[in-house]
A and B are shown apart, each in its own frame.
Chain A
Amino acid sequence: MEQLSHRDMIDLFLDGQLPAETRSVFFAALAASEELQAELHRAVVLHAAAHRHAQTLQPPPALTASILAAAATPQVPASRTRSGWLHAKALRTIALTAAATVIGFFIGRLSGPLPSTTKLAMQSEHAATGNAVAVRHTTTQAIPTSQNTQTAHTTTAQPKSTSPIALGTPSVDEDIAPTPNDALTAVAVMPLPKPAVPVDFSPASPQPMPVPLGHTLEQHSAPPPLPPAVEEPEEEFILSIRQTTPLVLRQQRLLSPLSSSPLNNTLIAAEYRERTVSILAQCGYEQFPIYEVTTTADGTPQYTLRQLLWWVGGGMRVYAPRAEEGLFRTLRPMAGIVLGTSQYGVLGRGEVGLSWEVLPHLSVQCLLEGMVHSHGIGTNWEHAEKLSASIGLAFRF
């Protein structure tokens, strides 16, 4: 063991680390030297002051509460804390979104290709006689024959009217029959599509339709109804409500995830859309790690964790143009930004996702959203970020 100086002995003595065999040496030196006594006294004063001061250094109650609250949340392995994408909740949300996409895909495929630009709407229904088919045919093109006005086929350049045509008992709706000029103009613009049902346009020979072998008359004369063509409205008012699920929450003071509840992650949006661009007002009640800062009498900041946030904001969205056929006939990619304010500060929000227009006035929205919130504390700013997924319904008027 190395040789200890008397000054070293002072510190070791105060720490209770002075070896027993050295104590007598130390006490003898202490009794003989006033300088050593003064040094010991200074060491004691220093120790006492430091210990007294250490006792005053207590963590603020709010900080203690937030740390203990972190222990109350379910344990998350370190690897999952680093990668929020592996969180089970996130996986569930992604699976739901994927399922909705797949369903949308098949619905879109089953709907079949139907050119919306031709504005073709056909309906077939059984006539009372069983072999007569009433066909309502509204189209922008004309039949390029010289007998346009004489045929049983009703043709108009404007989709303003429909006319029943009974096979074998043709009738002419003179009011809506186009003038030759209209017909010629339309012919120049649009080629004639192949009719979905073979129709005999001849007025003089009401021949019954030939029935293919293996088919009964009823089967042949009642083709399945085609879905109505989806038109792109010029403008729409959209009211939507969505449920969000936090995927990743980041705050410089918060390393563990907050406990989540489906009731406190709701968004409501009102949107006015013109073709592919819309403006929207949105509000939300969401889970978000915000630390409210107050200052105590001695100037020490106190941080209080606020887990919920009310916010309102406005922004815009852009929708992909509606496709004429295929998957994106009813499934429309969309993206948007929103700027807003909460009860604590300001926020920015970006979103990207899909709007599945499942019915003429109803859509299902699936979005991936990023949100950044800031609020000022003196000259400092507290930031928190959140990545979430949402799913909801939109009502279009």
Chain B
Amino acid sequence: MAVNYTLSSDRELYHYLSMPEHRERAFEEIYRRYGQRIYAYCRKILFNTQDAEDAFQSTFLKFLSSISPDREMTNLPAYLLTIARTTCMDMFAQRHEHAELVEDFHGRPDQTVEANEINELIEMALHLLPAQWREAVIMQLYANMSYEEIASAFGVPVTTVRNWLCRGRQRLREILQPYFEERHVEHPE
């Protein structure tokens, strides 16, 4: 019977991973759903493209090697995010954080100067946040994770995550206040 992977739930897809005939297609669908979010998280956490790509690849390969038919997968994005977070933490500990922070501040040529400017400022501001706030904000803003998924990845209650996110984003806005005033971004179109 043909399986429509696009319509399958995360739990079903994970179940298919243990079946050789479905494994490749199921993994492709999981990658399609969460690959970009995990990649964005790695990029923002590690501040360095090469390290981020290493961490991103390691995340999915670790995920592949950890597949077990006995495991009941209840929250696949949180599971992937937990692997990515562990991988990034390991990599972060091995690298010189400051030296690589500068490397990623060159922006993208396909974006406007203004967009590059605010992205760089946000990145710098993120770096000034406490580690847990920063991570939670990155997970939410860039990896598009829900409160529950972030809480699951951290292993903390949802209320704690909500608190971190509120504090983190408020601090972010405070740091970027001069930029907003200079650009008069008080009432966007």
Please report A residues at the B interface, Cβ cutoff 8 Å. Answer: 7-8, 11-12, 15, 17, 38-39, 41-54, 56-60, 63-64, 66-68, 70-72, 74-78, 81, 252-256, 297-301, 303, 380
Kindly list chain A residues whose C-beta atoms are within 8 Å of the C-beta of B56.
Answer: 59, 63
Whether a CB of chain A sits under 8 angstroms from the CB of B119 is yes
Closest CB-CB distance, A65 to chain B, in whole Å? 11
Whether a CB of chain A sits under 8 angstroms from the CB of B24 is yes
Kindly list chain B residues whose C-beta atoms are within 8 Å of the C-beta of A11.
Answer: 165-166, 169-170
| A-B pairs with beta carbons under 8 Å apart, 27 shown | A7-B166, A12-B162, A15-B165, A41-B188, A45-B118, A45-B180, A45-B185, A46-B122, A46-B169, A47-B141, A48-B188, A50-B141, A50-B142, A51-B141, A54-B141, A56-B111, A57-B44, A58-B39, A66-B57, A67-B57, A68-B31, A70-B61, A75-B67, A254-B61, A297-B109, A301-B49, A380-B50
Q: Which of A12, A41, A71, A78 contacts B23 (CB 8 A)?
A: A71
A46 CA / B121 CA spacing, docked (Å): 11
Say whether B169 contacts A71, CB under 8 Å: no
Whether a CB of chain A sits under 8 angstroms from the CB of B115 is yes
Kindly list chain A residues whose C-beta atoms are within 8 Å of the C-beta of B144.
Answer: 51, 54
A68 CA / B28 CA spacing, docked (Å): 7
Q: Which residue of B lies closest to A63 (CB)?
A: B53
B166-186 toward A: CB 8 Å interface, digit per residue (1/0)? 100110110011001000011
Kindly list chain A residues whose C-beta atoms are within 8 Å of the C-beta of B57.
Answer: 63, 66-67, 253
Say whether B106 contacts A43, CB under 8 Å: no
Kindly list chain B residues whose C-beta atoms are within 8 Å of the C-beta of A299.
Answer: 106
Q: Which residue of B lies closest to A1 (CB)?
A: B159
Kindly list chain B residues whose C-beta atoms are within 8 Å of the C-beta of A66.
Answer: 57
Kindly list chain B residues whose C-beta atoms are within 8 Å of the C-beta of A300.
Answer: 49
Closest CB-CB distance, A70 to chain B, in whole Å? 6
Say whether B176 contacts A75, CB under 8 Å: no
Q: Which residue of B lies closest to A301 (CB)?
A: B50
Kindly list chain A residues whose C-beta atoms are within 8 Å of the C-beta of B36.
Answer: 57-59
Residues of B33-81 at the interface with A, using a CB-CB cut-off of 8 Å, are 35-37, 39-40, 43-44, 49-50, 53-54, 56-58, 60-62, 64-67
The DSSP consensus for interface residues of chain B is: helix
Kindly list chain A residues whose C-beta atoms are within 8 Å of the C-beta of B58.
Answer: 253, 255
Kindly list chain B residues whose C-beta atoms are within 8 Å of the C-beta of A76.
Answer: 65
Which of A57, A76, A252 has the most CB atoms of chain B within a 10 A radius of its CB? A57
A184 CA / B118 CA spacing, docked (Å): 103
Given A46-B176, A68-B31, A76-B65, 14 other A-B contacts at CB below 8 A?
A: A15-B147, A39-B173, A45-B185, A47-B141, A53-B142, A54-B40, A56-B111, A57-B142, A70-B64, A77-B65, A253-B57, A298-B110, A301-B50, A301-B53
Whether a CB of chain A sits under 8 angstroms from the CB of B95 is no
Q: Which residue of B lies closest to A4 (CB)?
A: B166
Residues of B121-168 at the interface with A, using a CB-CB cut-off of 8 Å, are 122, 140-144, 147, 162, 165-166
A50 CA / B125 CA spacing, docked (Å): 12
Closest CB-CB distance, B59 to chain A, in whole Å? 9
Kindly list chain A residues whose C-beta atoms are within 8 Å of the C-beta of B188.
Answer: 41, 44-45, 48
Say whether A59 contacts B24, CB under 8 Å: no
- Chain B interface size, as a band, is 35 or more
A67 CA / B36 CA spacing, docked (Å): 13
Q: Which residue of B lies closest to A66 (CB)?
A: B57
Say whether A46 contacts B173, CB under 8 Å: yes
A253 CA / B58 CA spacing, docked (Å): 7
Closest CB-CB distance, A140 to chain B, in whole Å? 65
Q: Which residue of B lies closest to A82 (CB)?
A: B65
A52 CA / B57 CA spacing, docked (Å): 23
Given contacts A8-B166, A60-B53, A252-B54, contact A78 B142 (CB under 8 A): no
Say whether A64 contacts B31, CB under 8 Å: yes
Q: Which residue of A lies closest to B118 (CB)?
A: A49
Kindly list chain A residues whose C-beta atoms are within 8 Å of the C-beta of B173.
Answer: 39, 42-43, 46
Kindly list chain B residues whose C-beta atoms are within 8 Å of the C-beta of A68.
Answer: 24, 27-28, 31
Which of A67, A254, A255 has the most CB atoms of chain B within a 10 A radius of its CB? A67
Kindly list chain A residues whose C-beta atoms are within 8 Å of the C-beta of B37.
Answer: 54
Closest CB-CB distance, B109 to chain A, in whole Å? 5
Whether a CB of chain A sits under 8 angstroms from the CB of B108 is yes
Closest CB-CB distance, A34 to chain B, in whole Å? 9
A67 CA / B31 CA spacing, docked (Å): 9
A46 CA / B174 CA spacing, docked (Å): 12
Given contacts A255-B58, A301-B50, contact A17 B142 (CB under 8 A): no
Kindly list chain B residues whose C-beta atoms are within 8 Å of the C-beta of A44.
Answer: 188
Kindly list chain B residues whose C-beta atoms are within 8 Å of the C-beta of A53.
Answer: 115, 119, 122, 142
Kindly list chain A residues whose C-beta atoms are within 8 Å of the C-beta of B169.
Answer: 11, 43, 46
Kindly list chain A residues whose C-beta atoms are within 8 Å of the C-beta of B61.
Answer: 67, 70, 254-256
A15 CA / B148 CA spacing, docked (Å): 12
